[in-house]
Amino acid sequence: MKLEKIDHICIAVKDVKKAEELFAGTFDLRAVDHYIDEKEKISVARFMIGEVAFELMESTSPDGEVARFIEKNGEGMFLISFKVPDVEGSMEELNKKGLSPIDKTPRNWCGRNFTFLHPKDFAGVLIELID
C-alpha cells in the first residue's frame, strides 16, 4: 500500500478552546479552521504545520468516540491519518493481508473518502486512511 503523506494528526482533549490557547501560545501557531462535525460528534480546532494538519478534538457528546477515548485513556494522541491514492483499493488490500478496516465501506466527508483501522492492530493507535 502506498502512503503518500501524513494527512493529519488528532489529539483528543476535554476542552478544545483551552487546548487551542495552550498550543497556539506555546508554539506560536494560529488555527486555520474551526468546525463541528455533528455526525462524528466532535468540535475541532485545526492548525497547519507545513503540509500536515494538526487537530485538537473535543467531543460534543458523552457517547462520542472522543469522549469514550478520553474516559478510557485520558487526553492524548487520538489518531494519525495517512493519505492514500484510493481508500477502497487500500481497504481491499488490507482485507487480503488479513486486516479488517473498522468500516465495511468508506465514509465520506467533504468529498473525501476515509476509513479507520482498529488500534488493537496498530500498537494502540487509531489509523485513518483518507484519499
Per DSSP, the residues of 68-129 read: HHHHHH-SEEEEEEEE-S-HHHHHHHHHHTT--BS-SS-EEETTEEEEEE-GGGTTT-EEEE
Give me the domains of the chain, ranges plus CATH numbers: 5-130 (3.10.180.10)
On whether the CB atoms of residues 78 and 126 are closer than 8 A, the answer is yes
**Statement: residue 106 has pLDDT above 90:** yes
d(CA 13, CA 6): 21
pLDDT at 28: 96
Winning range, highest mean pLDDT, from 54-58, 90-94, 124-128: 54-58
Mean pLDDT (the chain, rounded): 95
Q: How many residues does the chain have?
A: 131
> Could you read off the pLDDT of 10-69 as tens digits, one per residue?
999 999 999 999 999 999 999 999 999 999 999 999 999 999 999 999 999 999 999 999
**Statement: residue 110 has pLDDT above 90:** no
pLDDT at 36: 97
